[in-house]
């Protein structure tokens, strides 16, 4: 292998010296993520401005055997975007590839480059009178390339699916610098293997996504949002089934939260207040959306009334203004960020079949209480998708480091429980570097062999994000 200088000179020749960062202070924002859970090292950060530049960089990396870690908005939660080995990797940031190439309102499709933030993609769709429905609390910073590479989920999956379901085609630079132009906008195309689905969710280990064609949807003209008190997750599941039966595909959000989660938000998030009068052990944030101007409020009122009558719900607040809707959403969105003010928390991003969520929560909470007496379970999230962020805060007054030292032990117990429900240990955040050691234990051996074979075919030298997933 040649010296670092040679390859960095060559990289600077491709992207221009300005777009090759090597000074520690310039690289710093790319080497740590917001929680400081992953802090890494790299030779350089390179910022190509076009697909041709990405291709030239990959030809160079391929020729010199240098490892590349793709990075989008650096909001990933499993460390896939941060190189943490000996610092020999180069981070390839897609941040400058931020063009919206096409918005085709009539065809309900748009083509954007990988570095376009989710928020900008949503805005571009909105400006054309359409909806791009992917919705995450990190949408101001995360990028379409990162969303697809992690197959991000979020709060609208119940209606629109994961990122994968919103993608019609991809442009990908392969490990050797070849460019696959798969930017089709077709709704039907059965001409052989569906390659885009290999790169979606691959976390940068099979290729570099440089652009994507995405599906657009009718823009809702009305929304109705309710904050509902439910006695327990079993009643919440009944409410979900009632909402599906009553509202069909107007149901766009169904999020479960425990009282402890609301308490944490009320304690630590400025301007937050309890939407309901008395306390309840659990809550549901439920939203209906419709392209029709009118009628949704009445539908929500009927749904809430019926749920109260049938005992799925004990109290209900329906947002009467945009400000109130925002306040309800703020409670849900602040639930992960405010948890750190309660000391250490051990996290899981798990899924089980939707109908099993209540039984899983009963068993999981009992298990936590046996393992760590006085711990404070905070399981919340996407009940409608069977995906729970099964978090737990340390006991009040306990030693934070001693509690966090039990991370692996607690993970192991919860993941074993998830396995008995035929669930997943990573529902939406991916494997990255955080869960790589767990993968062989939860995957079918044949599935692991197939994944390794695909990796070897697409990245024979192992230069694409080594240490992530496999
Ligand atoms: P990065 O963090 O930069 O990268 C993520 C992974 O993708 C890495 O492995 C990286 O190597 C790879 N990658 C990035 N860009 C490319 C590319 N162009 N080509 C190939 N590989 C690439 N996630 C959810 O699913 N649902 C949520 O509700 C959710 N909420 C969140 C809330 C907050 C406050 C935060 C901080 C994160 C949340 N996330 C959520 C996680 C995160 O936002 C998503 O995983 C997001 O999709 C990552 O996008 P990014 O651009 O930041 O990617
Ligand atoms: Zn989530």
CATH 3.30.43.10, applies to 4-93: yes
Alpha carbon nearest to ligand 1 atom 35, residue: 138
Nearest to 69 by CA among 385, 468, 335, 470: 468
What angle (nearest 5°) sits at the alpha carbon of residue 121, between those of residues 175 and 35? 70
Going from the Cα of 384 to the center of ligand 1, the distance in angstroms, rounded, reads 21
Going from the Cα of 167 to the center of ligand 1, the distance in angstroms, rounded, reads 16
> Is residue 115 in contact with ligand 1, taking CB distance under 6 Å?
no
pLDDT in tens, the chain (470 residues): 455 568 999 999 999 999 999 999 999 999 998 888 899 999 999 999 999 999 999 999 999 999 999 999 999 999 999 998 788 999 999 999 999 999 999 999 999 999 999 999 999 999 999 999 999 989 999 999 999 999 999 999 999 999 999 999 999 999 999 999 999 999 999 999 999 999 999 999 999 999 999 999 999 999 999 999 999 999 999 999 999 999 999 999 999 999 999 999 999 999 899 999 999 999 999 999 999 988 899 999 999 999 999 999 999 999 999 999 999 999 999 998 899 999 999 999 999 999 999 999 999 999 999 999 999 999 999 999 999 999 999 999 999 999 999 999 999 999 999 999 999 999 999 999 999 999 999 999 999 999 999 999 999 999 999 999 99
All structural domains of the chain with their residue ranges:
4-93, 100-218, 222-339, 343-442
Q: Are 151 and 161 in contact (CB under 8 A)?
A: no
Q: Are 4 and 67 in contact (CB under 8 A)?
A: no
- pLDDT of res. 1: 46
- Residue 80 CA: nearest ligand 1 atom is 9
Q: Are 205 and 470 in contact (CB under 8 A)?
A: yes
- Show the tokens assigned to 311: 């005992």
- pLDDT of res. 3: 56
Cα dihedral value 30, 32, 38, 44, nearest 10: 40
Please state which architecture CATH assigns to domain 222-339. 2-Layer Sandwich (3.30)
Going from the Cα of 415 to the center of ligand 2, the distance in angstroms, rounded, reads 17
**pLDDT tens profile 29-87:** 999 988 888 999 999 999 999 999 999 999 999 999 999 999 999 999 999 999 987 88
Of all ligands present, the nearest one to the C-alpha of 389 is 2
Alpha carbon nearest to ligand 1 atom 6, residue: 203
Using the Cα atoms of residue 395, residue 396, residue 397 and residue 401 in order, give the sign of their dihedral. positive
> Is residue 201 in contact with ligand 1, taking CB distance under 6 Å?
no
- Return the half-sphere exposure (C-beta side, CA atoms, 13 A cut-off) of residue 466: 17
Of all ligands present, the nearest one to the C-alpha of 135 is 1
Going from the Cα of 154 to the center of ligand 2, the distance in angstroms, rounded, reads 5
Number of residues in the chain: 470
Fold match flag (222-339 vs 343-442): yes
> Is residue 364 in contact with ligand 1, taking CB distance under 6 Å?
no
* Beta carbons within 10 angstroms of residue 362's beta carbon: 13
- pLDDT of res. 37: 85
> Is residue 459 in contact with ligand 1, taking CB distance under 6 Å?
no
> Is residue 451 in contact with ligand 1, taking CB distance under 6 Å?
no
Going from the Cα of 53 to the center of ligand 2, the distance in angstroms, rounded, reads 34
Pocket test for ligand 1, best of 40, 76, 385 (most atoms within 8 A of CB): 76
- pLDDT of res. 35: 81
β strands within 259-395, DSSP E? 282-290, 315-318, 345-346, 349-351, 376-382, 387-393
> Is residue 114 in contact with ligand 1, taking CB distance under 6 Å?
yes
| Options 3.30.465.10, 3.40.50.800, 3.40.1160.10, 1.10.10.10; CATH of 100-218 | 3.30.465.10
**pLDDT tens profile 337-381:** 899 999 999 999 999 999 999 999 999 999 999 999 999 999 999
> Is residue 71 in contact with ligand 1, taking CB distance under 6 Å?
yes
Topology, domain 343-442? Alpha-Beta Plaits (3.30.70)
Nearest to 338 by CA among 261, 283, 400: 261
Q: What SS3 class is residue 226?
A: strand
pTM: 0.96
């Amino acid at each position: 292998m040649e010296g670092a200088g040679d390859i960095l000179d060559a990289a600077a020749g491709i992207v221009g010296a300005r777009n090759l960062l090597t000074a520690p202070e310039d690289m710093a924002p790319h080497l740590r993520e917001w929680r400081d859970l992953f802090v890494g090292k790299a030779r350089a950060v390179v910022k190509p401005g076009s697909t041709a530049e990405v291709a030239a960089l990959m030809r160079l990396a391929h020729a010199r055997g240098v490892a590349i870690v793709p990075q989008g908005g650096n909001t990933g939660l499993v460390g896939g975007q941060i190189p943490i080995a000996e610092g020999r990797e180069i981070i390839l940031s897609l941040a400058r590839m931020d063009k919206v190439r096409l918005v085709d309102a009539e065809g309900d499709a748009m083509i954007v480059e990988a570095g376009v933030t989710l928020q900008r993609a949503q805005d571009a769709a909105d400006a054309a009178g359409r909806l791009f429905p992917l919705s995450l609390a990190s949408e101001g910073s995360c990028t379409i390339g990162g969303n697809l590479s992690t197959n991000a989920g979020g709060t609208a999956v119940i209606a629109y699916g994961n990122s994968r379901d919103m993608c019609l085609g991809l442009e990908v630079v392969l490990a050797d610098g070849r460019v696959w132009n798969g930017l089709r906008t077709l709704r039907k195309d059965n001409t052989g293997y569906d390659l885009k689905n290999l790169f979606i969710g691959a976390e940068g280990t099979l290729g570099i996504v440089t652009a994507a064609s995405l599906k657009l949807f009718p823009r809702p003209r009305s929304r109705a949002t309710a904050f509902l008190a439910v006695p327990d997750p079993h009643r919440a599941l009944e409410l979900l089934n009632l909402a599906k039966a009553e509202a069909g595909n107007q149901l766009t959000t169904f999020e479960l939260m425990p009282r402890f989660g609301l308490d944490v938000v009320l304690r630590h998030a400025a301007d937050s207040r309890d939407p309901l009068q008395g306390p309840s052990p659990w809550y549901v944030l439920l939203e209906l959306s419709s392209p029709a101007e009118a009628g949704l409020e009445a539908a929500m009122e009927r749904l809430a009334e019926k749920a109260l009558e049938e005992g799925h719900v004990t109290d209900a607040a329906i947002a009467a203004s945009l400000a109130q809707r925002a306040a309800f959403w703020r409670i849900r969105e602040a639930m992960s960020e405010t948890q750190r003010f309660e000391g250490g928390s051990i996290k899981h991003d798990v899924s089980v079949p939707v109908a099993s969520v209540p039984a899983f929560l009963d068993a999981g909470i009992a298990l936590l209480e046996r393992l760590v007496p006085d711990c404070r379970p905070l399981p919340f999230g996407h009940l409608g998708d069977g995906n729970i962020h099964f978090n737990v805060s340390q006991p009040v007054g306990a030693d934070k480091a001693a509690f966090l030292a039990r991370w692996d032990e607690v993970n192991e117990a919860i993941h074993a429980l998830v396995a008995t429900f035929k669930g997943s240990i990573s529902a939406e955040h991916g494997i990255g570097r955080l869960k790589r050691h767990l993968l062989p234990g939860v995957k079918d051996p044949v599935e692991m062999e197939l994944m390794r074979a695909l990796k070897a075919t697409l990245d024979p030298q192992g230069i694409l994000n080594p240490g992530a997933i496999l």
